[in-house]
Chains A and B, each alone.
Chain A
């Protein structure tokens, strides 16, 4: 007890020292004033004292869990077991679907708009989940593919008057193409170099969009992009938002369906094997180049496609929407939700996008919390909120096994 107390006091003192200049002092150089915010010091002291207790508790729990895992018996949580129950899953899906369908009828347009952006992030998260979660290829420039889709629609619409539905597949295919373009040169690179090159790639795309005025209209962006059409019917803003909402719901369902099938296929297994051990993977006869490229291309596809919808929804895009922070948010959706876990990623997107939206008071702390959450998740729950649900296989011996045991 006393030892714990002393340790927490020391931690508290250390953090008071650490945060002192940044949290307490604020200098106004133009008016030659120094503002001392002593209260902050008290908060830091109390906060770090409590957090240090919490940290030790979590660490101890973590170690206890590792010991259990070492002994070979892994307990699954109740939630996880429930999620693996097929009949429960169908029921839950039906309820969710009904909720999704009546949502715009119950809530107003503002709510639908928020929900649309959350759903956009669901698709982005599921796309990045293929690259990062399944194939284990860290991509820090994912938002570039999103930008490709959005600009594809904006430009094709501006120059040639092409409609939403025509460009939607084009956006996806362009995303794929850029995925391959990015993938090719960096096939041979290891995980961490990959991260930095994809980061650079994302920045290059943004810089080009900002500066190539003739092509992309520079920082001022493109306005008056057409909303999606429905057999030429004229819709007001409310109607159009509802329409976009339903398109988005359909797109999410399509994405879930395809990514689910891909994950539980020969291709998906190869991605996971690649993530687990690259050398063993090629030694088992898997073509690394093809597998990596397909992971990049299929991950980028969704970003390109949903980028088209983004442009159609906002009717105005500029490069400021495609910063590294966006890539970081999408990555944290995947990490927090659970890498490789489709359900987890969906949940992660809702939590990360809707929570700050409804808790306005905390929205300025959003990125701070995201950053902290990424660190804490990696340490205490690397599998994410919901870990991957395993596929079940049927084989001849299965029946006898269940009969016996």
Chain B
């Protein structure tokens, strides 16, 4: 296999909260065209890892490097979340964080914010350029809703959506920021098997059609086996394994980490 372009490179990432080490020197890479997965039992530090990458926390140690294609590489440590998003790295949240009192369409429109430019004065004057930009925002957002299958809910308030649809809306909103790498935090949590299957399909579609690499967190190991490669496994803040699905399945450490969970998951 030809060497693929490396998009995200995390080296020895460590995050301390007071005396607690939530993430302990974890390294990870995401290449172009990949759907990588980060799995592990509850409390393994996966979400904290995400929060470090996306700028919500500033990591204690380690490097987060972003290598956009055709652009200069950047170190993400300590950058504000909005800057990280501007650079082409978007995310969703484990405990859905939609703007509840905005419509579904408006939620996606927010994602367009960092790719548009109308300022205060221009918004008041509302010249031709502003009107065109506004229309462009609406059209792009609507197309994204069609893509994730939420067009029928366009003018609903997002709080009134069914649970699975809310998760898809988060993905649409993240896509609106035009990322080249999408981070999904437990996108299938709380979904029924049918919704999960649809979601798998959607993730593959995004990866193929949009040329967006994906890094997703999942709690449930079985679920990611079909779609992701490579898989990274975390436990107690440490990375315990990485590799192709089959390797992970056979890894004794992983089996041990999941033992007891496997029976009831």
Are any A and B Cβ atoms less than 8 Å apart in their complex? yes
Task: Report which A residues bind B (CB closer than 8 A).
Answer: 72, 74, 258, 261-262, 265-270, 272-273, 276-277, 279-288, 294, 298, 390, 393-397, 401
Find chain A residues with CB under 8 A from B100 CB.
Answer: 276
Among B110, B135, B155, point to the contact of A281 (Cβ < 8 A): B110
CB distance from A335 to the nearest CB of B (A): 16
B110 and A270 contacting across the interface, CB-CB below 8 Å: yes
Within 8 A of A (CB), among B176-197: 176-177
Which residue among B90, B120, B130, B137 has the maximum number of chain A CB atoms within 10 Å of its CB? B120
Interface readout for B105-141 with A: 1 if CB under 8 Å, 0 if not? 1100111011110111001101000100111011101
Say whether chain A's binding surface is mostly helix, strand, loop, or mixed.
helix
B82 and A287 contacting across the interface, CB-CB below 8 Å: yes
B82 and A282 contacting across the interface, CB-CB below 8 Å: yes
| Least CB separation from B106: chain A residue | A269
B110 and A269 contacting across the interface, CB-CB below 8 Å: yes
A280 to B90, CA, bound (A): 11
A121 to B135, CA, bound (A): 35
| Least CB separation from B156: chain A residue | A72
- Among the stretches B30-38, B91-99, B208-216, the one at the interface with A is B91-99
A280 to B86, CA, bound (A): 14
Whether B151 sits at the interface, judged by CB under 8 Å, is yes
Q: What 9 A-B pairs come out closest when comparing CB atoms? A: A285-B114, A265-B123, A285-B85, A280-B97, A276-B99, A395-B142, A282-B81, A72-B160, A273-B110
A395 and B110 contacting across the interface, CB-CB below 8 Å: no
Whether B80 sits at the interface, judged by CB under 8 Å, is yes
Which residue among A74, A261, A279, A283 has the maximum number of chain B CB atoms within 10 Å of its CB? A283
Whether B204 sits at the interface, judged by CB under 8 Å, is no
B139 and A390 contacting across the interface, CB-CB below 8 Å: no
B120 and A262 contacting across the interface, CB-CB below 8 Å: yes
B114 and A266 contacting across the interface, CB-CB below 8 Å: no
A279 and B97 contacting across the interface, CB-CB below 8 Å: yes
A261 to B135, CA, bound (A): 15
With contact pairs A272-B99, A394-B138 given, residues A265 and B56 touching in the complex (Cβ less than 8 Å)? no
Within 8 A of A (CB), among B10-65: 54, 56
B82 and A74 contacting across the interface, CB-CB below 8 Å: no
13 contacts across the A-B interface (CB closer than 8 A):
A265-B123, A266-B118, A269-B110, A276-B101, A277-B97, A283-B91, A285-B85, A286-B82, A286-B113, A286-B114, A287-B80, A288-B82, A395-B105
CB distance from A20 to the nearest CB of B (A): 44
CB distance from A69 to the nearest CB of B (A): 8
Total of A-B residue pairs, C-beta within 8 Å: 125
A288 to B86, CA, bound (A): 13
Find chain A residues with CB under 8 A from B141 CB.
Answer: 395
Interface size, B (range): 35 or more
Which residue among A74, A277, A284 has the maximum number of chain B CB atoms within 10 Å of its CB? A284
CB distance from B51 to the nearest CB of A (A): 9
| Least CB separation from B92: chain A residue | A283
CB distance from A226 to the nearest CB of B (A): 30
Find chain A residues with CB under 8 A from B119 CB.
Answer: 267
Find chain A residues with CB under 8 A from B120 CB.
Answer: 262, 267, 294, 298
Among A270, A393, A396, point to the contact of B105 (Cβ < 8 A): A393
Find chain B residues with CB under 8 A from A282 CB.
Answer: 56, 80-82, 85
Within 8 A of A (CB), among B131-166: 133-135, 137-139, 141-142, 146, 151-152, 154-155, 157, 160
Whether B102 sits at the interface, judged by CB under 8 Å, is yes
Instruction: Given contact pairs A269-B113, A284-B176, A394-B135, enumerate 16 new A-B contacts (beta carbons under 8 Å).
Output: A72-B160, A261-B124, A262-B124, A270-B110, A272-B99, A272-B106, A273-B102, A276-B100, A276-B102, A277-B99, A279-B81, A280-B99, A283-B93, A283-B97, A395-B141, A395-B142
CB distance from A382 to the nearest CB of B (A): 11
